[in-house]
Structure 1
Amino acid sequence: MLNTRDFRLALRFAVREMRGGLSGFLIFIACIAIGVGAIGGVNSVAQAITVGVASQGQSLLGGDIRFELNQREATEEERTFLAQAGDVAASASLRSMVRLADESDQTLVELKAVDDLYPLYGTFTSEPTLAQEDLFGLRDGRYGAAAPDLLFQRLGLEVGDTIRLGLSEFEMRAKIGIEPDFLSDGVGFAPRLMISLDGMRNAGLVQPGSLIEHAYKVRLPAGSTEADIAQIRDQASQQFPEAGWSFRSRLNAAPSLSSNIERFSQFLTLVGLTALVVGGVGVANAVRSYLDSKRPVIATFKSLGASGRFVFVLYLIQILIIAVIGVLIGLLLAVAMPFLAAAGLKNILPIASGGGVYPGALFLGAMFGLLVTLVFALLPLGRARDVPATALFRELGFEQRGWPRAVYLVAAALVAVVLAALAILLSFDRSVASIFVVAIVGSFLVLRAVGALVQWLARHAPRVRSTALRLAIGNIHRPGALTPSVVLSLGLGLTLLVTLALIDGNLRREIGGNLTDRAPNFFFVDIQSTEVEDFASLVAQQSPDGKLVRVPMLRGRITALNGVRVQEANIPPEGAWVLRGDRGITYARNTPEGTTLTEGAWWPEDYAGEPLVSFSAEEGREIGLKLGDTITVNVLGRDVTARISSFRDVQWESLGINFVMIFSPNTFAGAPHAWLATLMDSSATDAEEAQLLNQVTRTFPAVTSVRVKEALDIVNKLVEQLGSAIRGAASVALLASILVLAGALAAGNRARTHDAVVLKTLGATRRTLIAAFSLEYLLIGLSTAIFALLAGGVAAWFVVGEIMQFPWRFLPDVAVSTIIMALVLTVGIGLIGTWRVLGQKAAPVLRTL
């Protein structure tokens, strides 16, 4: 290391040299600013939403505490316990069918029934504004209802019109404006319809086994602390150990939203880090080009006795100062993002009022920016340290072969390891982050190999007669060629876009086409046991060629594994979803049709021993279960423990009736339950499906009918919107690639100017040189596009085919658009930079040779 005196001298020289401006580092600064801005901004917005959820937790939750029960209401003792804690507002949620008064049309709705205390926190608004009693109360023999404008449009309704729900008629009295606890209820695939609890009971929707979620929201006395909430939760668990209710507090008002925001922010953080890493190539190019321009200065320093270490520290200081400028610009962008998000999304997401500044998120972006700068700047700086003064005076460029000293290699490797470790440790899902880090390292190695392969092929290509093509091939493999930088920078961005485009295209193709053909036409939910035979007869009349499959249906929550409460068990993240919330469960005497056992055996038909369960093999493996283990499930407020007798393969993508758990029939003997059914009729037309839906809804108004095609259309639109948003976010990495590409071409302009002048002096025309440079860029761009197609195709196949278990197909339109994009970028940007080179006068350039 330098002593204090030499370091001050290096700092003084570094600042003095920078008085000439930053013209050679504009792309360097832009790359760092984009990456830092993306990382810092995304995490700032995520924290703003988290703060918003926390600050509005009472309104989002509808109370300070929320208890939820499935398929049953709270008992008198449980209601008394809750009432002792504070004011209690009860509500119920379920899916149901709404029909027009003349029953000519119907649609699925997400029904929410509330009591007179709703809402405990926040403000519910409607158009027109009505008091609670006027909005939902009984008037002229009909209860009132409110819905968003979407339901009015879907059924062609106006305020004041009458609808039929269950066994009753309701008057549509208002359109919903703001529903304060909407996000905590979870987002459904159907429009909301709000009525009163009395109206729901009057409609005959509450039946034994109906899939109704009952929520009890408690408003605690003013000044209640988190310790008070924890005490109430503990008391509820102790006094009612088998209640089976789930619990949320104002600190965890919308767990699904918070989890999704964390996942999406992690994805965007990784995209931003990708942009930074791609920009790191631009950093290396800029440092190398800058040191090339400082060749006489470095030679002078060394001739006057400056050590290589002094030269290294001097230019490292300059690079870090420039990096700090890029980081500061990126931080300004990051600071602005929460304010922009608060203005644009205030009616959709609970973002902290006014946006806010989040130092942790900004520090994360700045740290990543500086670490990437060091990783990519250390090696070219290390090379400059060891070049002797005579070589610097003698050489035209600053292109050296070989590696710098081991100390610089080790330093760069250590910084890279720290960067990778932070990316993993600070991620929401470390397994995903680990895969990302491995993929980035692998991509760098592969792309370097691809660049070397392209140069090797050019070097060994047969001699061609075309002068322009011969010059182009020579430029690809000559010393100091642009090939490695172009392939590396453009390859990463294009590969990411190809991967995302192929995943999105395959998902939309599968959901919009193939899955529709394989899936049932209808799902029917909440068929009462007393009506199941009549229901089957009606469906057989309306769809004689259809296949109706029906199974008993209950809801249960896994509360313990092998006697250990799930809250205390160490569950891998990939299997945690099975234990989160309630699961649909069923029982079966015989092995269901199409079931494939992977391990164990089915129980006998007349089995009457201890409760047994067949578990989904993949989910069981993810949780860590094995044959003979026990699981405890709370159903209807009673804990039931069953032993695993078999594992079976479940094809979730079929959209048929699938369950994680199938129990032996004696497990739930006498328990009230409803039935679930599917109808498959590949020959049914849209008109026939509409007629069947109308008949079922009119005859069995409490049965919920889900037309699969409509549900898949909604999912397809959501996937399309999400895909567009993700591709838009990923374009940040492509933008960095374009900047790096422009920087690489600019860095090579000095050598290219000499080449062009010499060739023009020897008789080459401008037309020949343009053709040569165009062909060079065309060949490099085509090679990069081919790699992006191969690598992106493999990555997309793995995600779609292996992880999502969907059929995979290569999409030619994606291939063509990628090739066109690569060629337009490389040839277009290359020619823009080359045009100025070709206009250089020969004499001034020749005098410098």
Structure 2
Amino acid sequence: MSASGGFAQTLRLAVRFSLREMRGGLSGFLIFIACIALGVAAIGGVNSVARAITLGVEAQGRDLLGGDIRFQLVHRETDAAETSFLESIGTLAHSANMRSMARLADGSDQTLVEVKAVDALYPLYGELVAEPNLPLSELLEIRDGVVGAIVADMLLDRLGVKIGDKIRLGNAEVELRARLVTEPDAISDGFGLAPRLFVSLDGLRASGLMQPGSLVEHAYKIRMADGTSDADINQIRERASAEFPNAGWSIRSRTNAAPALSSNIERFSQFLTLVGLTALVVGGVGVANAVRAYLDSKRGVIATFKSLGASGRFVFIVYLVQMLMIALMGIVAGLILGALMPVAAGALLSSVLPVPASGGIYPGALALAALFGVLVTLAFALLPLGRARDVPATALFRQRSMDANGMPRAVYVVATLVVAVALAVLAISTSGDQRIAVTFVGAAIFAFLVLRLVGWAVQALARRSPRVRSTALRLAIGNIHRPGALTPSVVLSLGLGLTLLVTLALIDGNLRRQIAGNLPEQAPNFFFVDIQSGDADAFADLVAKEAPDGKLIRVPMLRGRVMELNGVDVRKVQVPPEGAWVLRGDRGITYARNVPENSTLTEGNWWPQDYDGEPLVSFAAQEGREIGVKIGDTITVNVLGRNITARIANFREVQWESLGINFVMVFSPNTFAGAPHSWLATLSDDKATPADDARLLNAITRAFPGITSVRVKDALEIVNDIVAQLALAIRAAAAVALIASVLVLSGALAAGNRARIHDAVVLKTLGATRRTLIAAFSLEYAIIGLATAVFALFAGGLAAWFVVARIMSLPSSFLPEVAVSTVVLALVLTVGFGLVGTWRVLGHKAAPVLRNL
């Protein structure tokens, strides 16, 4: 018989034996199955939801974008040649977005609004739903000099007005004619700080807000002929760039309708996938415990196999097949849960995100989760199975433990390492940000090694501890270091979950403290945008009158788009994800004679005050490092339809956390000589009360209706709400890993119950009381839990510091309340679960156990 035929026959026989042994039930594998199912469900579900949202964006790309292709300009409208080119592509619709102040007719109150001005063709795709649902032309037309508007409910609430009332926008009187119910292209316009106010383009022009240099985004959306392919749209993009190289417009197509949304979903799904993988890896410890305990209970069966002539290889195959079958049950259960998650997401998010309501099955996402489940099972099951192969029958009949045989053969160690490497490669290769994935894999390996050392150190300290008088404490210390002790498994399983929990809790706490505490203290009271040059001095005089103790800072403000780095189109430049935002979209830019506040020169020299040479630029140091530029490099920026190339003269360390006026790029003053622009200003006043802020805001809005005023505390409240929602999702993700840790912990304790029963019976026979045994076991669990909590606080604190201080560039501090809650949680889990298992152990009768000694 051939070797392949012999293996096939052995495999068939092994499968038969495996199925027969599984007739006894799966009571010892419920935690095994739960651990695998939990991790697979998390990975499969998160990726399925992300895929559902991505496909939803792609399927509804035209509606979300408002056209097949969209051209966007800042500060200016298209000229005649550009308009002719756009009209030649298809049906052209023009809209404009800007922030401004809406105020009551009597000027007694005001609020920030996101103004969207549209023409008669809006929307080219999708449907604008208003209440009452009248024709858009009727709702937005100008009647007797009064501009019609559609408004969001939030604006009605903030100003205390209702449909039919009139407000002021700039110099125009505006009648609120309908409530905004659905805005089809809202997602493609990006995140807004204020409620939406719809007017016509003529209405916006009548308001006087569209001045030279005003921060207005003009969007030109085009509906193309039916049958236009994505390749045709890409050709148009290339034509636009070739024929109008200095236009400086941002071009998006229906295949990339909401890049910010897609990018955020991708990043968040990557994060949740890594958390799910953490849960799966933590569950792998439970797999190892379950396999070891199961094989320990099958010592008699394995001894019988070997006594009847079965080879060690056959024993290995029998139980490997059995473990894979059981793992398959957990994987299938996890895949079912993961497949149902898009359905739940569709029901919960359909009103705010384009998730298909039907959910759908996403084979790629589920297959990836299943593969992770198989690899984790193999990574943690091979070593215990390898030990079972080499334990001789005589040792098994003598009730010798599986672990007493030491390390398994080298082939099983190598196979385990190969599977572990495959698991790491899969996690890295399937991640969009491989740098983060590599960090995660490295941290996981480090955590495993250190937790093993922690477990070993706890046992070593227990072994070398002086003899104590307390019987319970002496028994507890002995239990920690005795052969087959639970210490390594409990430290490993609980340590991983608690470390992740501490990390996320500290990140969340530091962000909340920064937003709710430090930022408001450092941040200015107000930002003022769109200050026209002719109004700048009068505006400063008014602020000085209304806020005499305040500090006003004014800087010129333009918007520009980075086109080239060292003469190379930025679309062809490869930069790390953390620096890509600098080259994507429009950036705020300014010019200055001196080094700006909140900045420190770190490299290079500042230009003289009377400098009149080639254009120079000062670049933010961190962002410069991220995109790979250096002193002497050139950067080309398009401002107002003109490409300007400047040489990098120096780098600045920018204090972004101050929320003051900061720019990535600050140019020499001669760069924009004669260019029309507005001004940006901040006002800081530590002594100002909310009433003072309200009075100042009202005075500025009355005197300068075209100036947009942003109260920083209001903006921070909106950001805080968003952070709170993200924190909720992060905590839910951390809970998945913690649940896995709890499952593994309970599994580890259950796996040690047989040895506990033996010890308890012997000790009770020798005179130990139930109270003494409970105290001993409680002290054992408390010591192990405390040691694990100390490690989790150290490792989690270090990881949180790295994320907050190095990645987010924010101040990081260790929060005592997190430390206390972590220690308490560790002790409750270890002592609580330990006592539950101990109570059952202490209830066993002595006779059946003593007969088997």
What TM-score results when the alignment is normalised by the length of structure 1? 0.99
> Is the deviation greater in 46-55 or in 707-716?
707-716
Q: Secondary structure at the match of 1:45?
A: helix
- Alpha-carbon displacement from aligned partner over 1:786-836 (angstroms, at most 9, x marks no partner): 211111111112222233222222211111111111111111111112221
Q: Secondary structure at the match of 2:97?
A: strand
- Alpha-carbon displacement from aligned partner over 1:413-455 (angstroms, at most 9, x marks no partner): 0111011011001101100011000000000011111111111
- Give the equivalent residue in structure 2 for 1:673: 677
1:829 pairs, out of 825, 830, 833, with 833
For structure 1, the residue ranges without an aligned partner over 5 or more in a row are none
Letter in 1 for 2:110: Q
- Alpha-carbon displacement from aligned partner over 1:581-630 (angstroms, at most 9, x marks no partner): 01011111233345422111112222221111111111111111111111
1:437 pairs, out of 441, 457, 462, with 441
Letter in 2 for 1:329: A
Q: How does 1:16-27 map to 2 (within 5 A)?
A: 16-27=20-31
2:595 pairs, out of 584, 591, 594, with 591
- Give the equivalent residue in structure 2 for 1:621: 625
- Give the equivalent residue in structure 1 for 2:312: 308
1:472 pairs, out of 476, 498, 511, with 476
- Give the equivalent residue in structure 2 for 1:50: 54
Q: Secondary structure at the match of 1:793?
A: helix
- Give the equivalent residue in structure 2 for 1:737: 741
Question: Is structure 2 residue 550 aligned with structure 1 residue 546?
Answer: yes
How big is the shift at 1:75?
1.1
1:684 pairs, out of 688, 707, 732, with 688
- Give the equivalent residue in structure 1 for 2:384: 380
Q: Could you tell me how far apart the structure 1 residues matched to 2:661 and 2:58 are? A: 38
- Give the equivalent residue in structure 2 for 1:642: 646
Q: Secondary structure at the match of 1:603?
A: coil
1:567 pairs, out of 565, 568, 571, with 571
Q: Could you tell me how far apart the structure 2 residues matched to 1:552 and 1:251 are? A: 36
Letter in 2 for 1:403: M
- Give the equivalent residue in structure 1 for 2:67: 63
- Give the equivalent residue in structure 2 for 1:347: 351
Question: Is structure 2 residue 326 aligned with structure 1 residue 322?
Answer: yes
Q: How does 1:785-800 map to 2 (within 5 A)?
A: 785-800=789-804
1:698 pairs, out of 680, 702, 706, with 702
Q: Could you tell me how far apart the structure 2 residues matched to 1:645 and 1:295 are? A: 75
- Give the equivalent residue in structure 2 for 1:181: 185
For structure 2, the residue ranges without an aligned partner over 5 or more in a row are none
Letter in 2 for 1:493: G
How big is the shift at 1:215?
0.3
Question: Is structure 2 residue 255 aligned with structure 1 residue 282?
Answer: no
Q: How does 1:104-183 map to 2 (within 5 A)?
A: 104-183=108-187
How big is the shift at 1:774?
1.5
> Is the deviation greater in 379-388 or in 231-240?
231-240
How big is the shift at 1:684?
1.4
2:458 pairs, out of 437, 441, 454, with 454
Q: Could you tell me how far apart the structure 2 residues matched to 1:802 and 1:229 are? A: 41
Question: Is structure 2 residue 535 aligned with structure 1 residue 531?
Answer: yes
Is this contact kept in 1: 2:598–2:655, CA < 8 A?
Answer: no
- Give the equivalent residue in structure 1 for 2:265: 261
Q: How does 1:675-824 map to 2 (within 5 A)?
A: 675-824=679-828
Question: Is structure 2 residue 408 aligned with structure 1 residue 397?
Answer: no
Q: Secondary structure at the match of 1:218?
A: strand
- Alpha-carbon displacement from aligned partner over 1:298-337 (angstroms, at most 9, x marks no partner): 1111111211111111111111111111111111011111
Is this contact kept in 2: 1:52–1:353, CA < 8 A?
Answer: no
Q: Could you tell me how far apart the structure 1 residues matched to 2:246 and 2:145 are? A: 40
Q: Could you tell me how far apart the structure 1 residues matched to 2:83 and 2:307 are? A: 89
How big is the shift at 1:401?
5.4
How big is the shift at 1:465?
2.0
Q: Could you tell me how far apart the structure 1 residues matched to 2:405 and 2:116 are? A: 71
Task: Give me the identity figure in percent.
Answer: 71
Is this contact kept in 2: 1:55–1:352, CA < 8 A?
Answer: no
How big is the shift at 1:573?
2.0
Is this contact kept in 2: 1:494–1:734, CA < 8 A?
Answer: yes
Q: Could you tell me how far apart the structure 1 residues matched to 2:14 and 2:848 are? A: 33
Q: Secondary structure at the match of 2:403?
A: coil
- Computed over aligned residues only, the root mean square deviation of the Cα atoms, in angstroms, reads 1.3
How big is the shift at 1:3?
2.5
How big is the shift at 1:396?
4.6
Q: Secondary structure at the match of 1:300?
A: helix
Q: How does 1:481-520 map to 2 (within 5 A)?
A: 481-520=485-524
Letter in 2 for 1:250: R
Q: Secondary structure at the match of 1:400?
A: helix
Is this contact kept in 2: 1:486–1:744, CA < 8 A?
Answer: yes
> Is the deviation greater in 755-764 or in 277-286?
755-764
2:101 pairs, out of 94, 97, 100, with 97
- Alpha-carbon displacement from aligned partner over 1:116-172 (angstroms, at most 9, x marks no partner): 111111111112212102221123431111222122112212111111111112111
Letter in 2 for 1:121: Y
Letter in 1 for 2:431: S
1:409 pairs, out of 405, 408, 413, with 413
Question: Is structure 2 residue 274 aligned with structure 1 residue 270?
Answer: yes
Q: Could you tell me how far apart the structure 2 residues matched to 1:516 and 1:120 are? A: 42
Q: Could you tell me how far apart the structure 2 residues matched to 1:187 and 1:817 are? A: 36
Q: How does 1:364-375 map to 2 (within 5 A)?
A: 364-375=368-379
Q: Could you tell me how far apart the structure 2 residues matched to 1:192 and 1:470 are? A: 70
Q: Could you tell me how far apart the structure 2 residues matched to 1:224 and 1:595 are? A: 49
Q: Could you tell me how far apart the structure 2 residues matched to 1:423 and 1:107 are? A: 48
Letter in 2 for 1:759: L
Q: Could you tell me how far apart the structure 2 residues matched to 1:354 and 1:590 are? A: 59
Is this contact kept in 2: 1:595–1:649, CA < 8 A?
Answer: yes
- Give the equivalent residue in structure 2 for 1:80: 84
1:420 pairs, out of 424, 432, 442, with 424
How big is the shift at 1:757?
1.1
Q: Secondary structure at the match of 2:572?
A: coil
Letter in 1 for 2:728: S
1:577 pairs, out of 575, 581, 586, with 581
Q: Tell me: CA distance 1:83–1:399, structure 2 relative to 1, closer, same or farther (3 Å).
A: same
- Alpha-carbon displacement from aligned partner over 1:226-252 (angstroms, at most 9, x marks no partner): 122112112211221111001111110
Letter in 1 for 2:206: N
Q: Secondary structure at the match of 1:719?
A: helix
Letter in 2 for 1:256: A
Q: Secondary structure at the match of 1:16?
A: helix
Question: Is structure 2 residue 660 aligned with structure 1 residue 656?
Answer: yes
Q: Could you tell me how far apart the structure 2 residues matched to 1:136 and 1:36 are? A: 52
> Is the deviation greater in 755-764 or in 50-59?
755-764
Q: Secondary structure at the match of 1:805?
A: coil
Is this contact kept in 1: 2:564–2:637, CA < 8 A?
Answer: yes
> Is the deviation greater in 123-132 or in 627-636?
123-132
